[in-house]
Amino acid sequence: MGTSEQGKPDGIAILDFGGQYCHLIARRVREMSVYSEILPCDATPEELDALKGVMNLKGIILSGSPASLRLKDSPRLSEGVLETGLPVLGLCYGHQLIAHLHGGEVRRGEKREYGITEATIDAPEGVLKGLEPRERVWMSHGDTVFSLPDEFQVQAHTDISPVAAFRHKTKPLHGLQWHPEVVHTQKGKEMLANFVLDICGSKQNWRPTDSIETAVKEIRDAIGDSKAIIALSGGVDSSVAAALAAKALGDRLVAVHVDHGLMRMNESDNVEETFSKMGVNLIVARVQDRFLEKLRGVPDPEEKRKIIGEEFIRVFEAEARRTGAEYLIQGTIYPDRIESGFRSGSDRIKTHHNVGGLPLDIEFKGIIEPLRDFYKDEVRALGARLDLPPSIVERQPFPGPGLAVRIIGEVTEEKLDSLRRADAIVCEEVEASSLRDTAWQYLAVLTDTRSTGVKGDERDYGLTVAVRIVESVDGMTASFSKAPWDVLERISTRITNEIPGVTRVVYDITHKPPATIEWE
């Protein structure tokens, strides 16, 4: 992975107490080119020791938590974690926990401290090295550390928190009541760098793309002489996982792309062309008719999703059985793994597996997840290094059930054709405009509303297409894009001119929430 003497990168373990910014801490450490892994808060010293297989562990960060130490069953550290000799930095709840474990006074303050706060830096040393006497920090806590035993030095305070930052006088223990990982803490990056680089002595020797050779070797070692199969949707994650697996296994990898006929313009052809060129052993299951048949006469969105999901599983299972693949490769990425409660070292091989969230009724000898340690932007960097084209590496999110959830009501071949053309126009115009760099997702929806129009000199009672362009960070919330009028005008003119039967184009000006990004 890295370039240190032992061939492993230096890294930091982050113990997750359930705080909403835990991922952000891991990201900030990686942005410094230092590897990081998130472990459950009760990870034992032995589990921390096991990280030595992938990194030179240099320090530990304790995350925040929605819990309160005043409650009996609030999350705690395992015995011995503070005594490993490694530097430890507690953030928010982690800060309070270190104080509490050493007999400090932690209790509910009279006031909560929330948002941007001015902190007075009393001792600009250690984690706070180089800071000004007053700094803007971001706080979010109800409990407060009011006092510490003499073995600690108080390094900062605010109007509400008398102990807003501390360090132990003889042990490598540090605490910050605020969140340095959040951008609103003005010198947050410097504080984390003081800890990770100076105090822990981490070398900046990790790059996501250094991991390609390690991942390839891991796949080879796990699969031996057997065959593996992957469901290749053409999305970023499955494409990068397939490219890595193909590098490891050559034609012992079988990639299956299910063309259910609900893809966008030329999408399946692009997947076929890209991966065939790379020499990947690819099966394209062209099963459009089968899906359309099943969807005939079904207007309900949830019913459509269910039919598509089940049919997808059946097609993939048939190919898996036919090829005799013993292993399944999945494009699971780091946030998926943490969110589904994965604990390091646990056994993932179960009777029902998952392909992009779909339960499979088939036994595999093992599941390999080569992207399990990477964030989305790191996966994109790997994809670029593996020579995947920008059309795949930079691909916008696309739902598994495809265009079916962008046609309101029953899906027919004719409607699919109209929507595919409208979607292609939206994509072309957005990608040719300034929105290219800011839009998270851009799409067309074929509504079931008809309205009167005039084409040529004739009256037409045609279909309405809705255009949706949104900005988002992670798809959980989104804002409609305040797109330039000329871009919207070009989209509208082209859709009504080029697609017969469409007489009206509307622009969706709803944020998420209250609306979702997709219409169904």
Verify whether residue 100 is a known catalytic residue. no
Measured CA to CA, the distance from residue 199 to residue 324 in angstroms comes to: 52
Token pair recorded at residue 16:
């997750």
**For this structure, is 92 an active site residue?**
yes
**Residue nearer to ligand XMP on the CB measure, 508 or 518:** 518
CA atoms within 13 A on the CB side of 133: 0
Q: Whose Cβ is closer to ligand XMP: residue 125's or residue 518's?
A: 518
Minimum separation from the CB atom of position 262 to ligand XMP (A): 11
> Which of 118, 124, 188 has the alpha carbon at shortest distance from 159?
118
Contact criterion met (CB below 8 Å) for 371 and 218: no
Spatial CA neighbour of 52 closest among 344, 414, 399, 418: 344
Which residue from 33, 332, 441, 447 is in contact with ligand XMP, where contact means CB under 6 A? 441
- To the nearest whole angstrom, how small is the minimum distance from the Cβ of residue 400 to ligand XMP? 4
Q: Is 516 in the site for ligand XMP (CB under 6 A)?
A: yes
Q: 60 in helix, strand or coil?
A: strand
C-alpha closest to that of 117 among 75, 154, 160:
160
Q: Catalytic residue, from 37, 113, 135, 181: name it.
A: 181
The one among 130, 133, 250, 475 contacting ligand XMP by CB under 6 A: 475
Number of residues that bind ligand XMP (CB under 6 A): 10
Could you tell me the smallest distance in angstroms from the CB atom of residue 106 to ligand XMP?
39
Q: Is 479 one of the binding residues for ligand XMP (CB under 6 A)?
A: no
Spatial contact of 483 and 435, defined as CB atoms under 8 Å apart:
yes
* Residue 512 in contact with ligand XMP, rule: CB under 6 A: yes
6 or 516: CB nearest ligand XMP: 516
CB 101 within 8 A of CB 149: no
Confirm or reject binding of residue 279 to ligand XMP (CB under 6 A): no
CB 284 within 8 A of CB 344: no
- Binders in 386-415 for ligand XMP, by CB under 6 A: 397, 399-401
Q: Are 212 and 99 in contact (CB under 8 A)?
A: no
| Spatial distance between the Cα atoms of 360 and 354, rounded to a whole number of angstroms | 6
Closest distance of CB 294 from ligand XMP, Å? 16
Question: In whole angstroms, how close is the CB of 396 to ligand XMP at the nearest point?
Answer: 8
Minimum Å distance from CB 291 to ligand XMP? 15
Stretch that binds ligand XMP, among 260-268, 363-371, 411-419, 510-518 (CB under 6 A): 510-518
Q: Which of 38, 131, 495, 517 binds ligand XMP (CB under 6 A)?
A: 517
CA quadruple 267, 273, 279, 283: dihedral positive or negative? positive
Beta bridge partners of 230: 255, 329
Is 22 labeled as catalytic in the residue annotation? no
x/- string (CB under 6 A) for ligand XMP, residues 195-234?
----------------------------------------
- In the three-class reduction of DSSP (H, G, I as helix; E, B as strand; rest coil), residue 263 is classed as coil
- Of 65, 63, 59, nearest in space to 88 by CA: 59
Given the residues 22, 41, 92, 200, the one annotated as active site: 92
Catalytic residue (choose from 23, 179, 257, 260)? 179
Element (H, E) at 357: none
Residues that bind ligand XMP (CB under 6 A): 397, 399-401, 441, 475, 512, 516-518
Catalytic residue positions? 92, 179, 181
